[in-house]
């Protein structure tokens, strides 16, 4: 028996009367009240809407960035500076940042020994002026009143760029290494997993990773640690580097120019920046001064563009040299 609709918005089916549901009305501006005297009212929302809003965008981003133009591993001061300069210079490039921690920024939220001011040697202060971070000029160096002011400003500017995405709480577990058209071993992307999964491979059964294909990887994972110097160490175990140089003792005057000037493509398809390079090359550490990180990030962006301009890329893979 077909349903019979009645005038009072009910229908009868098989002898049972049921109330028809009216379509949900969309929230209107009148539903929203910004009143701080006890009458504050949000627009109505369903829990499923929150989940779908996140899931849709996150997995659309993952789907899109499975092929990227540049992947930056590590969102510390060097990696973020590289991302900013690269994205600003080439807004056509898909730049994907992978950060193992929940909070991006690496060690750049504080200065030395958990103190808040950040010291940056000239000429790296020019980058502060570019992104709009105020500082006190002390002659040969400048001081930002709180390292978090620099890091939060840089982070917000990077993430506001439409060609940049960041996947934090995501670890790089391995490098993709292919033989290229010239018969060379080439870094051709990264192998990723959520960090909490990567840290628990010994406690669970097989939890396979995912991949991102790209012609250029910039690795800026910092000096040795739980996730630090990852790519440098992987180059050794993959047979692309004989041994680590291992970071030398602190010497600011030697370290900062060495890190900036030696930022380069250390293996085909892999550019290394920041303190990870000190582990790769055996250079001095610099301690709580950040000009070298800024300079190295900018140099890494220049190197990435040089590599991209020297190859032909199809679907994220290098198919020939130019």
Q: Give 26's DSSP letter.
A: P
Check: CB of residue 252 under 8 Å from CB of residue 291: no
Give CA–CA dist 207/189, Å, rounded.
Answer: 20
For residue 258, give both structure tokens: 């060495």
Cβ neighbours of 159 (radius 10 Å): 15
Whether residue 129 is annotated as binding a ligand: the answer is no
Residue 1 annotated as part of some ligand binding site = no
Give Cβ neighbours of residue 222 (< 8 Å, ≥ 6 apart): 74, 76, 106, 107, 228, 229, 274, 275, 276
Closest CA to 191 of 166, 217, 220, 222: 217
| Residues 6+ away with beta carbon under 8 Å from 271 | 216, 217, 218, 219, 263, 264, 265, 300, 303, 304, 307
Q: Is 18 helix (H, G, I), strand (E, B) or coil?
A: strand
Say whether 275 counts as a known binding-site residue: yes
Q: Is 189 annotated as a binding residue?
A: no
User: By the 8 A CB rule, do 143 and 118 touch?
Assistant: yes
CB 134 within 8 A of CB 194: no
- Residue 177's Cα: distance from chain center in Å? 21
Asked if residue 286 belongs to a known ligand binding site, the reply is yes
223 labeled binding residue:
yes
Sign of CA dihedral 106, 109, 115, 118: positive
Is residue 57 marked as binding?
no
Please enumerate, by residue number, every residue annotated as part of a binding site.
78, 99-100, 107, 172, 208, 223, 275, 285-287
Please enumerate, by residue number, every residue annotated as part of a binding site for substrate.
78, 99-100, 107, 172, 208, 223, 275, 285-287
């Amino acid at each position: 028996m077909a349903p019979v609709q009645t005038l009072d918005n009910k229908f009868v089916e098989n002898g049972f009367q049921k109330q028809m549901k009216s379509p949900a009305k969309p929230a209107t501006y009148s539903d929203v009240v910004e009143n701080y005297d006890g009458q504050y009212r949000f627009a109505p929302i369903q829990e499923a809407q929150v989940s779908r809003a996140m899931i849709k965008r996150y997995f659309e981003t993952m789907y899109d960035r499975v092929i990227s133009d540049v992947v930056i591993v590590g969102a510390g001061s060097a990696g973020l500076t590289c991302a900013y300069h690269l994205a600003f210079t080439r807004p056509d490039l898909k730049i994907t940042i992978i950060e193992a921690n929940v909070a991006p920024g690496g060690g750049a939220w504080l200065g030395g020994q958990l103190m808040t001011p950040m010291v940056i040697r000239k000429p790296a202060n020019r980058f502060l002026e570019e992104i709009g971070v105020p500082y006190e000029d002390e002659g040969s160096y400048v001081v930002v009143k709180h390292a978090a002011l620099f890091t939060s400003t840089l982070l917000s500017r990077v993430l506001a760029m439409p060609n940049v995405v960041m996947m934090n709480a995501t670890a790089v577990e391995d490098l993709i290494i292919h033989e290229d058209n010239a018969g060379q071993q080439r870094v051709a992307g990264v192998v990723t997993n959520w960090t909490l999964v990567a840290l628990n491979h010994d406690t669970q059964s097989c939890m396979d990773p995912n991949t991102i294909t790209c012609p250029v990887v910039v690795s800026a994972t910092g000096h040795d640690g739980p996730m630090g110097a990852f790519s440098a160490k992987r180059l050794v175990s993959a047979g692309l580097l004989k041994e680590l140089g291992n970071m030398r003792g602190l010497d600011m005057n030697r370290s900062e120019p060495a890190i900036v000037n030696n930022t380069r493509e250390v293996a085909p398809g892999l550019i290394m920046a920041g303190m990870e390079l000190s582990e790769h090359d055996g250079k001095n550490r610099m301690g709580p001064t950040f000009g070298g990180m800024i300079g190295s990030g900018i140099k890494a962006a220049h190197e990435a563009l040089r590599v991209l301009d020297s190859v032909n890329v199809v679907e994220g893979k290098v198919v020939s040299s130019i």
